[in-house]
Amino acid sequence: MFGHFAGQTSLFFSSTLEWPEHMAAPSGRGSILRRSCAISGQEMETQLSLSIILSATAVVVFLYWYLTSTFSYWEKRGVPFVKPLPVFGNVADHIFLRNTSSESYAKIYKKLEGHQFGGFYSGSTPNLIVRDPVIIKQILVKDFNHFIDRNLSFAEKISPLACNIFVLTGSRWRKLRGKLTPSFTSGKTRMLLPTVVGCSQDLVSFLGDSADDNNIIEIRNVAANFNTDVIGSCGFGLEINSMKKPDSEFRRMGNKVFQPTFLTGALRSLGLIYRPILNLVQSPIARKDVNNFFLGIVKETMTYREKNKVVRDDFLQYLIQLKNKGKVDEDLVSIKDDINMTFTEVESSSNEGEDEPLEMTDTLLAAQCLGFFLAGFETSSTTISCCLHELAVNPDIQEKLRKEVDTVLIKNGGQITYEALQDMKYMDSVVDETLRKYPPVGSLTRFCTKDYQIPGTNVNIDKDVKVVIPVYALHHDPKYYPDPEKFDPERFSPENIKSQPSCTYIPFGEGPRICIEDVDTPNFQSYLFHHALATRHTSHVNIDKDVKVVIPVYAIHHDPKYYPDPEKFDPERFSPENIKSQPNCTYLPFGEGPRICIGLRFGLMQVKVGLTALLSKYKFSVCEKTSDTPNFQSYLFHHALATRHTSQDKPPR
């Protein structure tokens, strides 16, 4: 009985029971009591340790289940997929910053060889990657109303300037796109040409002294300064003069947008595992100082122009017209120009759901100027840098291009005119090949906004699933570009372009004509298109609403199936003859369909003007600091290139 009592007391007291001093503790029973209390304490510690272990095990098991519970998603739907790793899915290399997203998608693209599309996982989230150019065209153009939104989202409450054309979704995007489209016609681009040429002359003057001394230059910084001047003048109405003032406030604020911290990059990578983590990441355009700077510039410039009745031919002036009149003046642009749209058809075909209001506020207009900067700065700088790198490595191609530049400029009185740029066919091939080998946007992503069945299959893409188009992989696929690592401009000669499959070259999209062609397709062409789908697929595939569809542009551009020896820089791939045989949607440097880069025409003009100005004066050659291939950081699209340049009449030393 006493032992039973002692056992009970041990549940409430950790110390041994003490007897009063005037009482003598029974020798036998006292020792039993103390031993019983000590044993009970050990049991409690053991039970506590066991509870902790069991709880931790339960948490680990739950997390494992939670992070792998979706791994049967594609298997249940009969879709081929790449086997994922627990926690990381198929993007572990990108999460640990060992690869860019383009390179990760290219690996997935290769593992799914032989399939038109396949599933993979970003962490535990199921995504779809599309390999077949016919399906890519269907997603980007024909069935665009199912894939309106991009994989971009920033809270406007956190970043007011996040409401730019590249981030907006749904009806707000459609309305704004329709209003901005007239600002990017060929007529508008032609008006901006003198400004761009003026910036190129500053570039040539800046390089003059270093050419005489045969100095080594960091071409990436030079190209960035040139593009800063162009965008500052054409987009904001400012004379930046970055060549002489590389540390100007505009340049400094612009750099902040493209220089996230390592922590930001790491958090973005972890967001691939668990998307809500992205809400913890402060976007560069969400920084208060960046917001205040760009918003202040736009408001101040708009107020000054309206007060003093100043009118300039630049992007900001068109935004002022849009604010005051609700549209861009028709007498200032080529309304009949075929810029990427029969937009009313796209709008009417996809104008479903809630009609969100769109007020032309100063903040909204400032956001478009920032979007103009974001879209034009990095892409154009990268293209010019990579092109000059390849020209330095391939002096025979450089010389052929220089001869064309000199010949055309002589025909046009030494002036860089719009007509002169149109006459430089080999320049087009060189730029196209640069965009193939180094697409500024290595992949295109579209979110499925309503359930979609892939034509000719029984597979559904659910709403909110992300679809990836692997542009880089397509551009380096030997099936479309033999020897894809070779730089060969002849791939894009007029003859070769004719045989190029549609949607195998999509660095920023096929351009406005493709959209018009596809919306206004005659019955015969429509028959051929659907016949091609019917003969290539044997079952129905539905894409559920909210499923993300990935188009791996980088992988497509480097697929030997489309571009033999894809790492070779070969402008001949894009000769007029070769382009004819290029498969559709295998060249996507600017995307494809209604959501392609709205400033495509301006961006290409900017690149060509810069190259024309440089090649007409200087020769470029490799030096000891020139890398074999440009390197791209895994969490920041930025790289450095060094070349040596000399005046055209002096041989490189």
Structure tokens at 400: 């052929």
Work out the angle between the directed axes of helices 395-411 and 600-615 (0-180°, nearest 10): 100
Report yes or no on 133 lying in a domain: no
User: Is residue 134 domain-resident?
Assistant: no
Domain boundary among 33, 68, 103: 68
- Position 318 scores a pLDDT of 87
Residue 422 lies in a domain: yes
Which segment of 181-190, 407-416, 589-598 scores lowest on mean pLDDT?
589-598
CATH number at residue 637: 1.10.630.10
Choose the final residue of a domain: 30, 50, 68.
Answer: 68
Can you give the pLDDT at residue 262? 66
The answer to the question of residue 24 being in a domain is: yes
pLDDT of residue 434: 93
pLDDT for 491 equals 94
Residue 201's pLDDT band (cuts 50, 70, 90):
confident
- If asked whether residues 52 and 168 sit together in one domain, one would say no
Please indicate, yes or no, if residue 613 is contained in any of the structural domains: yes
Instruction: Please tell me whether residue 17 adopts helix, strand or coil conformation.
Output: coil
Q: Of the ranges 117-126, 133-142, 169-178, 467-476, which one carries the lowest mean pLDDT score?
A: 169-178
Picking from 49, 68, 87, the residue at the C-terminal end of a domain is 68
**Residue pLDDT, tens place only, 395-438:** 999 999 999 999 999 999 999 999 999 999 999 999 999 999 99
Q: Are residues 161 and 24 in the same domain?
A: no
pTM for the structure as a whole: 0.71
Query: Same domain for 424 and 539?
Result: yes
Lowest mean pLDDT among 192-206, 332-346, 383-397, 575-589: 332-346
Identify whether 551 is part of a domain: yes
Average pLDDT, the chain: 75
Q: Are residues 217 and 359 in the same domain?
A: yes
**Pairing mode of beta strands 567-574, 485-492:** parallel
CA–CA separation, 651 vs 653, rounded Å?
Answer: 6
Is residue 639 situated within a structural domain? yes
Domain co-membership, 64 together with 155 = no
Residue of 628, 604, 644 whose CA lies nearest to 427: 604
Q: Among the listed ranges 38-47, 192-201, 247-256, 387-396, which one has the minimum average pLDDT value?
A: 38-47
* Lowest mean per-residue pLDDT among 236-240, 241-245, 392-396, 588-592: 588-592
Domain presence at residue 132: no
Q: Are residues 155 and 63 in the same domain?
A: no
CA-to-CA dists, residue 356 to 133, 169, 595, 598, angstroms = 33, 10, 19, 22
The three-state secondary structure class of 601 is helix
* Tokens of residue 316, six digits: 């900001």
Return all residues near 336 (Cβ < 8 A) that are at least 6 apart: none
Name, of 7-21, 70-84, 312-326, 380-394, the range with top average pLDDT: 70-84
**pLDDT tens string 429-484:** 999 999 999 998 888 888 899 999 998 899 999 998 999 999 999 999 999 999 99
Lowest mean per-residue pLDDT among 173-177, 398-402, 412-416, 577-581: 577-581
pLDDT digits (tens, 9 = 90+) for 619-653: 877 777 777 666 655 444 333 344 444 445 444 43
**pLDDT surpassing 90 at residue 487:** yes
Of the candidates 554, 551, 632, 638, the one whose C-alpha atom is nearest the C-alpha of residue 595 is 551
Task: Please tell me the predicted confidence (pLDDT) of residue 484.
Answer: 95
Q: Kindly state whether residues 54 and 184 are assigned to the same domain.
A: no
In this structure, the answer to whether residues 26 and 161 fall within a common structural domain is: no
Are both 553 and 415 inside the same structural domain? yes
User: What is the predicted pLDDT for the residue at 82?
Assistant: 96
Number of domains in the chain: 2
Domain that holds residue 419: 149-647
Q: What is the pLDDT of residue 555?
A: 76
The separation between CA 321 and the C-alpha centre of its own chain, rounded to angstroms, equals: 30
Same domain assignment for residues 349 and 439: yes
Q: Are residues 156 and 278 in the same domain?
A: yes
> At residue 204, does pLDDT exceed 80?
yes
Is 597 one of the annotated binding-site residues? yes
Task: Give the pLDDT score at 80.
Answer: 96
- pLDDT at res. 498: 84
Cβ neighbours of 520 (radius 10 Å): 10
325, burial (CB in 10 Å: exposed 0-12, middle 13-18, buried 19+)? exposed
- Residue 5 has a pLDDT of 36
- For residue 3, pLDDT over 50 is answered with no
